[in-house]
């Protein structure tokens, strides 16, 4: 046998062995605990959603799913950890819309939202709630737009920081409505909510869980939700589109991602389990309590969504004059 043929046989054998090992691993997956990285602090919607899903995957797989909170840089710290992790299905990322927004704010990200991950499934739709202080003479989106147009630059809006979904949702609102609102970034949702409660800030695209109790108590006025359809957590509140601004939509979704190169059989296994879990009434009920709605997608569907969102919010950021740092 010629040396060339021996080399050829050796390469084929190695590839076959690698293929078999990958298949065998996928068949026995998971055989040890899974780490689910959440890029935000404990207690927020991504953390709660991650823990609900993790607990159920634990029951399905018979292996612990350990939530690892890595807050900072609007989720980028957690995203980097997962992007650089081994592609074996044992490190997952509970991503939010922030992963698609970040490229517009950072010149050198250690990950690419489209290329660095293997999408598994959408998990939840998480609307933002457009709120104003009750002293503001605007009881609807139309009235807010009329008020802001009449006094350009007089009113401000709060956000939880530059590059956050709350920030760019307000910038999208400004662009579509043709209004001038001044951005006032705060260090977190608690500070931003407190600012609107005190009247220091006038407008805020707030997270549903912390804002809704204040709306129901009359301390804040809820004008609309940011998503394309009404939230089951507050069905009486119209969407921004219904309330007078067609074409506006901002969904601070949650989705499960794995590192790029994760075997398809493992991604498909995770996707299948999520499809079953997200249909369970008790999971849907738990999500509704925190202002979210369970949403499933195929891996290709999620990949397309992330690409679409990255392009959409990139344009919003450019229109707002954002210069990546």
The whole-number average pLDDT for the span 229-233 is: 94
Do residue 38 and residue 15 come from a single domain? no
293 lies in a domain? Answer: yes
Do residue 212 and residue 158 come from a single domain? yes
Do residue 104 and residue 72 come from a single domain? yes
- Residue 91 DSSP one-character state: E
237 lies in a domain? Answer: no
The Cα angle at residue 100 between residues 170 and 120, in degrees rounded to 5: 130
Domain end call among 206, 225, 244: 225
Nearest Cα neighbor of 178 from 196, 203, 158, 152 is: 152
Question: How many structural domains compose the chain?
Answer: 3
Do residue 38 and residue 3 come from a single domain? no
Nearest Cα neighbor of 50 from 61, 66, 62 is: 66
Do residue 39 and residue 15 come from a single domain? no
The pLDDT of residue 11: 52
In tens, the pLDDT along 133-180 reads 999 999 999 999 999 999 999 999 999 888 899 999 999 999 999 999
Instruction: Give the DSSP H or E segment for 9.
Output: helix 3-28
Q: Which string of b and e fits 211-228 if b means at least 16 CB within 10 Å? A: bbebbeeeebbbbbbbbe
- Residue 44 DSSP one-character state: S
For residue 325, the SS3 value is: coil
314 lies in a domain? Answer: yes
For residue 213, the SS3 value is: helix
232 lies in a domain? Answer: no
pLDDT for residue 26 is more than 60 = no
Do residue 4 and residue 51 come from a single domain? no
324 lies in a domain? Answer: no
CATH of the domain at 271: 3.40.190.150
Do residue 165 and residue 219 come from a single domain? yes
Nearest Cα neighbor of 171 from 72, 312, 67 is: 312
Confidence of residue 323 (pLDDT cuts 50, 70, 90): confident
- The DSSP secondary structure of 117-184, one letter per residue, reads EEEEEEEEE-BEEEEE-TTSS-SSHHHHHHHHHHSTTT-EEEESSTTSHHHHHHHHHHHHHT---EEE
Q: Which string of b and e fits 136-174 if b means at least 16 CB within 10 Å? A: bebeebebbbebbeeeeeebbbbbbbebbbbbbbbbbbb
Do residue 114 and residue 135 come from a single domain? no
Confidence of residue 14 (pLDDT cuts 50, 70, 90): very low
The whole-number average pLDDT for the span 245-251 is: 93
Do residue 303 and residue 215 come from a single domain? no
Do residue 14 and residue 88 come from a single domain? no
Q: Is 108 exposed, middle or buried (0-12, 13-18, 19+ CB in 10 A)?
A: exposed
- Number of residues that this document lists for the chain: 325
Estimate the share of the chain in helix, then strand, then coil, as percent rounded to the nearest 5.
Answer: 45, 20, 35
End-to-end alpha-carbon separation of the chain, Å? 60
CATH of the domain at 171: 3.40.190.10
Whether pTM > 0.85 for this model: the answer is yes
Do residue 315 and residue 273 come from a single domain? yes
109 lies in a domain? Answer: yes
246 lies in a domain? Answer: no
Mapping DSSP onto H, E and C, the string for 240-288 reads: CCCCCCCCCCCECCEEEEEECCCCHHHHHHHHHHHHHHCCCHHHHHHHH
183 lies in a domain? Answer: yes
Do residue 152 and residue 189 come from a single domain? yes
Structural domain boundaries enclosing 103: 32-123+254-319
In tens, the pLDDT along 261-275 reads 999 999 999 999 999
Token pair, residue 54, equals 């993790």
The pLDDT of residue 210: 83
């Amino acid at each position: 046998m010629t040396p060339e043929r021996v080399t050829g046989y050796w390469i084929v054998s190695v590839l076959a062995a690698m293929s078999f090992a990958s298949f065998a691993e996928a068949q026995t997956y998971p055989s040890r605990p899974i780490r689910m990285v959440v890029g935000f602090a404990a207690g927020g919607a991504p953390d709660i959603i991650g823990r609900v899903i993790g607990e159920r995957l634990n029951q399905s797989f018979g292996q612990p799913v350990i939530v690892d909170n890595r807050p900072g840089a609007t989720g980028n710290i957690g995203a980097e950890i997962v992007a650089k992790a081994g592609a074996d299905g044992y490190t997952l990322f509970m991503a939010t819309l922030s992963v698609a927004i970040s490229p517009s704010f950072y010149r050198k990200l250690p990950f690419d939202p489209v290329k660095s991950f293997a999408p598994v499934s959408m998990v939840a739709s998480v609307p933002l709630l457009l709120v104003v202080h009750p002293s503001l003479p605007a009881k609807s989106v139309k009235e807010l737009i009329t008020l802001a147009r009449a006094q350009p630059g007089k009113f401000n809006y709060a956000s939880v920081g530059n590059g956050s979904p709350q920030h760019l949702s307000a910038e999208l609102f400004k662009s579509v409505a043709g209004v001038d609102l001044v951005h006032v970034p705060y260090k977190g949702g608690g500070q931003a909510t407190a600012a609107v409660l005190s009247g220091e800030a006038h407008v805020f695209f707030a997270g549903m869980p912390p804002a809704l109790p204040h709306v129901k108590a009359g301390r804040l006025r809820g004008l609309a939700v940011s998503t394309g359809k009404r939230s089951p957590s507050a069905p009486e509140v119209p969407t921004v589109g219904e309330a007078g601004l067609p074409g506006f939509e901002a969904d601070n979704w949650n989705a499960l991602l794995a590192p790029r190169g994760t075997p398809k059989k493992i991604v498909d296994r995770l996707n299948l389990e999520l499809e079953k879990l997200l249909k369970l009434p008790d999971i849907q009920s738990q999500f509704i309590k925190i202002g979210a709605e369970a949403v499933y997608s195929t891996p290709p569907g999620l990949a397309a969504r992330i690409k679409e969102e990255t392009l959409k919010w990139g344009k919003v950021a450019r229109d707002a004059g954002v210069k990546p740092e």
